[in-house]
Amino acid sequence: MAGDNVAVIRGIYEAFESGDIPAAIGAMSPEIVWNEADDFPYADRNPYVGPQAILEGVFGRIGAEWDGFGAKVEELLDAGDTVVALGRYCGTCKATGKSQDTQFVHVWRLRDGKAVRFQQYANTLHVARVIGQA
């Protein structure tokens, strides 16, 4: 079962990368609780509860504010019902024209084959500089 959880999370990233947002959201529980890192630009609405809140508050804003945004996973760590993703964000901020190469850690919790919790940790100072807030 634990390996299946890694496959679920890998599928979310692959769907997001290919632009298949319905597939990414489909791997999430209707009750998912999503938290952006403290001081990250999208943490202003934490916690996001449910896929619609994530679509509007995170994914929609990313699409509106970034060109070529991606979450490039370098490693997935299998901890049973918890999967940890290590990687980097890329993309260019539309408002500033600056590109990012931002380190992140995502901690996913799963139950019954669906993501039920998400916690982001990221280099918030780097992002603030890229978007012109530092």
> What is the pLDDT at residue 116?
98
pLDDT tens, position by position, 66-87: 999 999 999 999 999 999 999 9
Torsion of CA 53, 56, 58, 59, to 10 degrees: 120
pLDDT tens, position by position, 84-109: 999 999 999 999 999 999 999 999 99
pLDDT tens, position by position, 10-26: 999 999 999 999 999 99
pLDDT tens, position by position, 15-60: 999 999 999 999 999 999 999 999 999 999 999 999 999 999 999 9
Q: Is the pLDDT reported for residue 1 higher than 70?
A: no
Residue type (1 letter), 20? D
Domain at 2-130: CATH architecture:
Roll (3.10)
pLDDT bin (cut points 50, 70, 90) of residue 2 is: low
Q: Cβ neighbours of residue 61 under 8 Å, at least 6 residues apart?
A: 41, 42
Give phi and psi for 33, each to the nearest 5: -115, 120
What is the spatial distance between Cα 53 and Cα 10, in angstroms, rounded to a whole number? 22
Edge-to-edge, what's the strand order for the sheet holding 66-79?
48-49, 28-35, 114-122, 99-111, 82-93, 66-79
Beta strands in 24-134 (DSSP E): 28-35, 48-49, 66-79, 82-93, 99-111, 114-122
- Domain ranges for the chain: 2-130
